[in-house]
Amino acid sequence: MAAAKKLMSMRRDWRERDVRVVLAALIIAVATVATIALFAGQLQHTLVSSASSFLAADRQLEAENGQPVPEEWITEARERRLQTGRMVEFSTMVFGSDAFQLVSVKAVSNEYPLRGELEIQGDSEGSREQVQHGPAPGEVWINPRLLRLLDIRTGDTLEVGNRNLTVSGLLLREPDGGFSLSALAPRVMMHVDDVASTGVIQEGSRVEYVYLFAGTEAALEGYYQWLQPQLGPSHEWEGVRDGETFSRSLDRAESFLLLGGSLAVLLAAVAVAVASRQYALSQRDTVALLKTLGLGSSGIGLLYLKRLALWGVTGMVGGLLVAVPLFWLLTRLLSEALDRPVEFQLEASALTPALLTALVSLFAFAYPPIRRLKHVPAMRVLRSQPGETGREALPDMLIAIVAVFGLVWLYAGELSLVVSLLGALVLLLGALGLLGWLLVAALRKVRGGGHAWRLALVGLYRHRRASLSQIAVFAMTLMLATTLILVRTSLLDDWQAQLPDDAPNHFLINIAPDAVGDVADFWEERGQPLDQLYPMVRGRLTQLNGQPVKEVVSKDQRVGALNRELNLTWMASLPEDNNIVKGSWFEGDDKQGVSVESELASKLGLALGDELTFTIGSDKITETVTSIRTVQWDSMKPNFYMAFPPNGGLTDMPATWITSFYLPRDQKSALNEFSRRFPTVSLLEIDNIIERIQEIVRQVTQAIEAILVLILAAALVVMAAVVSATLQDRQREGALLRTLGGRQSLLVRSTMLEFALLGGFAGVLGVAAAEAAVWALQFRMFEGQFSWHWQVVLPIPVMSALVLALFGRWQLRPVLSVSPMLLLRRLE
């Protein structure tokens, strides 16, 4: 069947514009979805492992009661094929040549760190290197500030309890470095096997045993299930996702990637639908002829089904051929951003959504109009028949909408996403219906004439059906792209707002009340004024409305905050980044009441008026909840679950003060002087952590930009599909107008105006629908505050009007450059 075969060959198909658009849309859809899925997986992996390195493991088990955990817990973990490691943390005095200093010791086993790496320096002039182990037995690595404080150098010995250990390196960064407020003094890191011989740890010493675990998520989860019933009140199981600073960023990045992928799916579906409908229309003559020549409708059905299958295969293969190098490029970018190698790993499972997208696009979008080709009457060869009214396409549209939203749901697993987008689309179509009605009502009165404006309006009216469907598709495309741009913008703004360049990167803790003034002066003099100072009292929440908390709150609701001492404070005014959600902040001289952080409140089921009892040392105070407020945990400022009014019950308790401030890297030497002058004040350096978080944000930003580019490419394909759909008609009209004596400049101006109007309408509608979608999404997925985005949004209709006007001008090119006669012949 040489001729028949050739009739449905790929090479022949490729020559048809509509087929090219369908294929391009499919390829872009597969490529985008595959790239996003691959990259999201990779990013997730990288971020989690970089997040894991904050714990130096995937999970940590902390025993705060000064007792090691039973040995069988560790054996069980090993049997479950988990990697394990162990650390002991305590504070002690160490002695140098002739000075001593309170330090915070971390003694680590050989396996430490299970995740992440340490950064060390052989001596103060040596180069920095990254290692994945702690010091060997008999050696210590110390915070460089200790060199000055103790007046020693590397190679000297340091006396820790009964042992002399050799200072073999300077510790610049540890993966799990000091994110909790317990790491107070300069760090000394030693080997865990040396701890016993130092004799520092005695019965009743404050010491924390920490166990590290790493392995597959399933193994970790299984182990935790086993372990959980045996955990005591002083045991704390920590995972990266337990409200760490960056997990929020991580979740949002994931949500964003999913949103991007879903939008890519939607856009591709629209492009495939438009182009294949166009293709089906253009195939009607061929079908009529084939029928006349004796091909039955089942034969015709088969012919096009085969062709569709061929497209599907081409789209998938082509898409993957684009996706794989692109993904490779993204991993290169990622590893550059991270400054560490990132594995290039092709997960077969990540490709499933892409292939599924191709299949669904083809069968829910391309197939219905093509299926209807079977019904083209053979009579068409003799006389062109009335075309489709579009009414037959209604059930198709229904199938398509269900299919695509099913796909998005399956893909993103977020019902709220589906609902937001669907809602916005419904709004959009409603507005479009209204616009159509207005268009007909208002433009009917406009009469043609020599004026470009009038010609443009008449054009819009005359093509109102095509114009409306074009506006619909443009508006939808713009809506999807704008949604993504808006979400990206607010995401990045959010992050930037959270972590400005001068975000506090050092904490001062444990400031005695009488030293507060001197400490503030010290930094004031050096041009690094302190942020607000807060008093801090350590206490436990023990009773809720007179009942012991542990009885009232069921075990699975148990919150980390209940297990350990809380930092309680009092303050007169609400910090700027806190927000009251219920109740009201303390009035002038209120002495009663407590303000509770909202997440904790909802976990504990607290309401206004509940009575909370705190145990502070041997004292108890009871207060009623007067307000519930949100806290910006990732602000890098002191944050408190519980805030009391000044002059309230807390004021009499023994308090120390805490504050944070920003110190540029090149002024870090001031810390030595500070430590010498205020030896009892604890200093927490979190500049490394902040840098890490900023790094993560940077990676995610890059990924987001890359994906945005892909999506915009998809949007352009849709536009091209739609515009090319009416290309011939418009060219024919233009040629006719010229034949009938229309001046070129008039033709150009009216066409550009008509397209600009189309683009403008579509832009306004799309942007409005996008705002609606973002409004819905912001609540459900990104937990942000909704605000209008005029600066982002206003240029979009203008740009879309401009782009379409230029597109229209470009379409006219052949009409203007060729003689009308030739053009009419060619368009026959």
Summarize as ranges the residues that interact with other proteins (CB under 8 A). Answer: 1-4, 6-7, 12, 15, 285-286, 289-299, 377-379, 381-383
Q: How far is CA 448 from CA 216, 258, 444, 454, in A?
A: 72, 49, 10, 6
- The DSSP letter of residue 58 is S
Tell the smallest beta-carbon distance from residue 726 to other proteins (Å). Answer: 21
Q: Is the CB of 1 or the CB of 218 nearer to other proteins?
A: 1
The residues facing 595 across adjacent strands are 627, 643
Q: Is the CB of 286 or the CB of 672 nearer to other proteins?
A: 286
Q: Is the CB of 45 or the CB of 732 nearer to other proteins?
A: 732
Tell the smallest beta-carbon distance from residue 427 to other proteins (Å). Answer: 33
Tell the smallest beta-carbon distance from residue 9 to other proteins (Å). Answer: 9
Tell the smallest beta-carbon distance from residue 52 to other proteins (Å). Answer: 58
With b for 16 or more beta-carbon neighbours within 10 A and e for fewer, the 313-349 pattern comes to ebbbebbbebbbebbeebbebbbebbeeebeeeeeee
Residue 197 burial (10 A CB sphere; 0-12, 13-18, 19+):
middle
Q: Is the CB of 14 or the CB of 328 nearer to other proteins?
A: 14
Contact of 773 with 483, CB cutoff 8 Å: yes
Q: Is the CB of 1 or the CB of 441 nearer to other proteins?
A: 1
Torsion angle of the four alpha carbons 112, 113, 115, 118, in this order, in degrees rounded to the nearest 10 = -160
Contact of 785 with 491, CB cutoff 8 Å: no
Q: Is the CB of 218 or the CB of 293 nearer to other proteins?
A: 293
Q: Is the CB of 74 or the CB of 300 nearer to other proteins?
A: 300
Contact of 580 with 628, CB cutoff 8 Å: yes
Residue 698: CA count within 13 A, CB half-sphere: 13
Tell the smallest beta-carbon distance from residue 450 to other proteins (Å). Answer: 33
Contact of 102 with 185, CB cutoff 8 Å: yes
What is the CA 823 to chain-centroid distance, rounded? 52
Rg (CA), the chain: 34
Q: Is the CB of 379 or the CB of 434 nearer to other proteins?
A: 379
Separation CA 68–CA 65 (nearest Å): 8
Tell the smallest beta-carbon distance from residue 4 to other proteins (Å). Answer: 5
Q: Which residue has the tokens 């009340």?
A: 513
Tell the smallest beta-carbon distance from residue 311 to other proteins (Å). Answer: 17
Tell the smallest beta-carbon distance from residue 816 to other proteins (Å). Answer: 23
Tell the smallest beta-carbon distance from residue 301 to other proteins (Å). Answer: 11
Contact of 657 with 511, CB cutoff 8 Å: yes
Q: Is the CB of 10 or the CB of 581 nearer to other proteins?
A: 10
Q: Is the CB of 48 or the CB of 295 nearer to other proteins?
A: 295
Tell the smallest beta-carbon distance from residue 3 to other proteins (Å). Answer: 4
Q: Is the CB of 222 or the CB of 299 nearer to other proteins?
A: 299
Q: How far is CA 85 from CA 141, 387, 413, 750, in A?
A: 19, 74, 36, 75
Separation CA 507–CA 184 (nearest Å): 10
Contact of 107 with 94, CB cutoff 8 Å: no
Separation CA 134–CA 123 (nearest Å): 16
Tell the smallest beta-carbon distance from residue 318 to other proteins (Å). Answer: 22
3-class SS of residue 509: strand
HEC string for 86-103? EEEEEEEEEECCCCEEEE
Separation CA 571–CA 577 (nearest Å): 14
Q: Is the CB of 392 or the CB of 619 nearer to other proteins?
A: 392
Tell the smallest beta-carbon distance from residue 5 to other proteins (Å). Answer: 9
